Every structure is written in structure tokens, then in C-alpha cells.
Amino acid sequence: MNKSSHFLCLIIAAVLLEPLCCSWLRASSPKREMRSTWLTTVRNVDWPVQGAGAVSQKQDLIRMLDSLHTLNLNTVAFQVRCNADAFYQSAYEPWSALLTGTRGKDPGFDPLQFCIDECRKRGMACHAWLNPYRYNNKKALWNDGCEMGYEYTHPEWLFIAPNDNCVVMDPGLPEVRMRVKQVVGDILGKYDVDGIIFDDYFYPYGGTGSQDIASQQLYKPADMNVGDWRRQNVLDMVRDVYDTIQAVKPYVTFGISPFGIWTTDWSVAWAEDINLPRGIDGGNMYAEIYCDPVSWLKAGVVDYISPQLYWTTQHKAQKYDVLCKWWADLANRFGVHFYSSMSLDSYSRGVANYTLQEMRKQMNFNRTSGTDGAFGFIYFNTKAYCYKDEFRTNFKKIILHYPALQPAINWKPVPERQMVDNLQVSGSTVTWTHPDSDVRFVVYAVPVASRYDTAVFSVGESLLGQTYTCSYTLPAGVTTATHKIGVSVLDRYNNEYALRIFDEPLGTPEATMLSLPSDGATKALPFTFRWQSVQGADSYIIQFARDEAFQDIVFAQEVTGTTFDSANRINLKYLPHGTYWWRVKTRIPNAGDTWSEAFAVTLSDTDALEEIHPQTAAVQGIYTVLGIPVAEADHLPHGVYVMAGKKIIR
């Protein structure tokens, strides 16, 4: 089938399925969703045209960001460090050759600053995408005379990876780890980025032999095997970067995009009390590139993970739906977010089964797999879809029909923010004032007849967009005669605060009253949190913390009802037993946000381990050791085993 016929089929399918699609959109399009794209600069995949000149390169980037914005994306992962080089003014590394053709040559503008500025104009976030270790994506040093190049300043940092046809910086050297930390600190100090993200290149693909023997001899403990040592090196680097972000700008989101399969070794999973996804086979990056995302999650040194799930739901050994659910549960277990990295490159290249309907199916799995209210994706790559008009029309209609806010990193303590003041609408221009400069704003438009509908400000359909300034231009068809216009405050962690509505008097804030579990109760998981309904409330935010001052938050989640099932937060199952505190914020449009009093609840030890004998476990078909039902594992010694929080007695 040629490309024109392919698009025609997509359009016909979209028309035929339109009634179904519209129903699905209203049911499934969330108000909160990370919607990002890998804006890829390595090999000039998406941008820039090498040597095109500053004016032309700026125009190309503006055109790309315009396209992404109109597709209702809210974030860009802009690749600024491909090969220990820079798309920004670096204190440590040379300008990238991908800009001008010559490494170290000033391109005549600062691409990262330009991208940040242009994203701000569109209400979009800009995350700086870095590769931590790759030095050259060819099996050779640069040898181009660039004075800042590490083959001249620190040749001992580099080794050639013949199986991956590249040169990498040795992750086993503390000096290399320090340089990655310094690079991130340099970016944070100079640029107002919203996030830092790493891709999946750690130790080289294809395996590492004796190339790092010098660093092994210097730093590997004698009683530690080389695989564990290499994984520890990666973890130490990730921890250093996370600590740097928390010390400098803790609101900057930090995420990593590992390979889509953690490990295929059941003994590794068993040691961590983790089940591997059923029916999945493929590369074992735990042992090949020494990538261990579970160690990062356990250490609490990432805000989200974005595993590269570049397969379809029809793939035999790497089914998207199975892996999506598994990663979502894993992230929830450790209390962070899961944003799937998804393939549009495969669609662009006509890979089998990559259709618009497959993308819609994958997006639906994204939105139903997680229970923490934080959905999201990062599409690879950007040029694969952002310029194709036929695709853009149907992609937006079927998948991203409404805008969305980025999920909040809401487990970090933050100050409360007041409502905007002086909200005015003059023609199509909305303006307001606010005393804080470190915030953004969200603009809503709700049809006048729907103003008092339940949770009307908690759906994506009501969103117009985000802005970094105190003004916004209303789109055609939206006026104060047809819609109620509202503006809320969004902090840099993406927490939203009280909504102000134009031309309405201020109401009175009202706190809810907590019901269950009662103050001081002892409960076994799972249980349901309950509180009283407040008239006019649009939504509620429940917080659960380790301390009464709510400075050490286990989780927070916004809901539209007055109950919350603890089973929605898998991380609660793994908490130490003891006393915790919970409270609920009431959000009433045009009245303000108000916290309830805090209740204490003690998680009892009666639910710590549920005893199941192997015969029962085998019948249930869920408890396995190394992939074998416990009842059939005759080679295992008798004793007590723990699997998924259950005590299995053999």
C-alpha cells in the first residue's frame, strides 16, 4: 500500500469510528497527562539542519514547536547533550558539531535558551535531555583538534565499545560521575529548565568486556562481582544527579528512560520480591548495559521513569499492554510516575501493525494501567508525525482532543499559593495579577450552562491552556457571554491552587470533615478513606504522610469524590508498620482551598504477610519462585518465602 492510500484508510476509519471515538474521548481524556516528545538532535534526526545558519535553524524549531503545541502536547524533551557536547553555553564541553559541522564552533545563538523561550510562549515545559556517557556514536575518537574534547583533556576517561560502535565515558571512574553531575549543575544554574531527562545509554549495548579493566582495578571491591559493581556505578551517578537537582532547584523534574524490559532473569526479580511480566522475552539490559531502574526506584532518586515500549499490543514476546501495566505498577509501588516512551517512528516507517488505531489502543492502556492519577507518554521521534497534516488531524481528534496539565510532583512539601487578583477580561484578552513570580497559570473556559456541573473544572475539556505570564488570549468562539472564564495558579511542581472565576463574587472556603479511618484508628490494608461532601466543591486532594506536619509525604492525589481506596497506591503495601497521618483539601471554585484537620492512622502488622500454603498458591496460579509455581518447586528447600507481600510456607 502506498503512503497516500495508507492515509486515506486512516481517514475513512476515523470517520466510521467517530461516534465511538467521541464517546471514548469524553470518558478517557484526562486533565492531567504528561504529553511529551523526544526532540532528537543526535545525527540531526529531528533538528537542526547542520550548518543551516542561526536564522534558518530558529525558524525550523519555531515551526516544530508550533506543530507540537497545536497537537496539545505540553512538554518537549530537547536533546542538548548527545556526545559529551552541548546545544547550550557549556562550562565543560564544546558546542556540538551537529549545529555547524565543526565541534566547538559557536552557532551564533543559544539553542537551549531559544527553545525554553519559545516553549514559554506556548505554555509548554522544556526538559533538557542528556546522554550521560556516550562520547561519540562512531567507533573512533573525534581527533578534530577541539581543545575542550576529552580525548585531549581526559583520554583516560574514554574507551571504545566495539560491539556498540561507539566511544563512551567510563562509568566506573568517579571523575566521570562528577563531570555528569557538574554538567547538570551547570545547566540548572544557567537555564530555567522544567526537567532533566536521561535516555537509555549507560554501559554500551552489546556488552562490556575488558575495556574498563583499569577502572575495575582501581575501584571495584575485591568481593563484588563486576556486574553488581557496574550497576552500582550507574546508581551512584543517578543519585548524584538527583541530589544536585534537589539542592539547586528541587522543582525540576528528573526522569530516566530505560530499555523497556528490566530483566529476564527470574532470580534477579525474586531477590527484589518482584514478579516479571508474563510472556515477555527479549534483551536483558540488567546484564548487558547494567541498567537497573529498580535500584533507582528503591533509592528514591528519580521522579518518573519512561521505559521505551516501542512494541505493539500484538507483538508476541514484547506486548505493549502487558509491559505498560507492569511498569505502571512498578512505578506506583515506589511512589513515582510512569510515562511510557512510545514509538511514532515505527508508524512513520510503515512498520507492521503501527496504525492510528493501535496508537489509540496503546494510549487507552496508558490511561487505565495506572491508579495514581498520573498518566503520560513521550513519543519518539518528533519529525515522524508533527508535519503530516492527514495524520495530525486524526491524531488530535482521536488521541489528544483536549489539552492537559502535566502531572504534579506532589509528594514534595511546598508552600500554599493564593488565588490570582484583579482578574479582567477585555475583548479576547484575559489579565490578572499575582504576587509570586515562580508560578504559572492555568486558564479555563466552561460553558455558562455547565458552570455548576459536578467536577466541571476537573476535566480536560474545560482547559484552554497554560501560560507563564499574567495574560492570555481567548480563542475564537470563547467570550464572557458564552463561557465562564477562570484562572488558577500552578507552581513549578505542577501543583494547582484555588481557581478564580471572572465576574463572580468570592465565596467562602469550607473544610471537609474526615470520617474513616477515624482519628487514631488501627487499620489493616486495604481500606477506604472517607470524608464528608462539601457543597460546591469541584475536587479534593488527599495527602498521606509520615509526619503530622506533612513534610514527608507518602502520596497525594486529587479526586472528585469523597472516598479513596488505599489499594490505588501500591506503595502503601510496602510501608513500615506504624503511625501515619492523612488530611484532605477541599477545592471550591472562586472560594479557595482549605485543608481539613489531620487524622492519625496506624498501619497494623496483621496484614504484613498473609500466609499461603503452596497448594493454595499453585491453585491460584500467581505465586511463583523463579517462574515455577511454589507447589512444584521441589528443588527449593523447605522454609518461608515472600512473594508480592505474601508469606508462602513450603
Residue 83 CB contacts under 8 Å (≥ 6 apart), including other chains: 42, 96, 131, 134, 135, 136, 137
User: What pLDDT is recorded for position 604?
Assistant: 86
Q: Is the peptide bond before 107 cis (omega within 30 degrees of 0)?
A: no
Whole-number pLDDT of residue 306: 98
The angle at the Cα of 235, spanning 183 to 244, to the nearest 5 degrees, equals: 35
Q: What is the pLDDT of residue 219?
A: 98
Q: Alpha-carbon distance 532 to 127, whole Å?
A: 40
Contacts of 181 (CB under 8 A, 6+ apart): 237, 240, 241, 244
Note the pLDDT of residue 101: 95
The radius of gyration computed from the CA coordinates of the chain, to the nearest angstrom, equals 26
Give phi and psi for 477, each to the nearest 5: 90, -5
Q: Which of helix, strand or coil describes residue 398? A: helix
Q: Which residues contact 508 (CB under 8 A, 6 or more apart)?
A: 591
Low-confidence residues in the chain, pLDDT < 50: 1-27, 607-611, 614, 617-628, 632-633, 635
pTM over 0.75: yes
For residue 645, give the nearest of 548, 546, 476, 526 by alpha carbon. Answer: 526
Cα distances (Å, whole numbers) of residue 216 to 163, 176, 232: 20, 14, 12
Integer Cα distance of 346 and 332 in angstroms: 28
Q: What does the alpha-carbon distance between residue 577 and residue 455 come to, in Å, rounded to a whole number? A: 35
Architecture, CATH, for domain 514-606 = Sandwich (2.60)
Instruction: Express the helix, strand and coil content of the chain in percent, nearest 5 each.
Output: 30, 25, 45
Looking up cell 508498620 gives 577
- CATH 2.60.40.10 residue spans of the chain: 514-606
Give the model's pLDDT for residue 389: 81
Q: Are 589 and 574 in contact (CB under 8 A)?
A: no
Separation in Å, CA 295 to CA 41, 235, 290? 29, 7, 11
Cis, bond preceding 517 (omega within 30 deg of 0): yes
| Residue 316 confidence (pLDDT) | 87
CATH for the stretch 421-501: 2.60.40
3-class secondary structure per residue, 83-148: CCCECCCCCCCCECHHHHCCCCCCCCCCHHHHHHHHHHHCCCEEEEEECCCEEECCCCCCCCCCCC
Hunting for cell 519529525 — which residue is that? Answer: 383
Q: Are the C-beta atoms of residues 486 and 501 closer than 8 Å to each other?
A: yes
Where is 227: in which H helix or E strand?
A: helix 226-248
471-473/429-433 β-pairing: antiparallel
Name the residue among 301, 293, 373, 296 with its Cα closest to residue 341.
293
Instruction: Name the one residue in this structure whose C-alpha cell is 512498520.
Output: 351
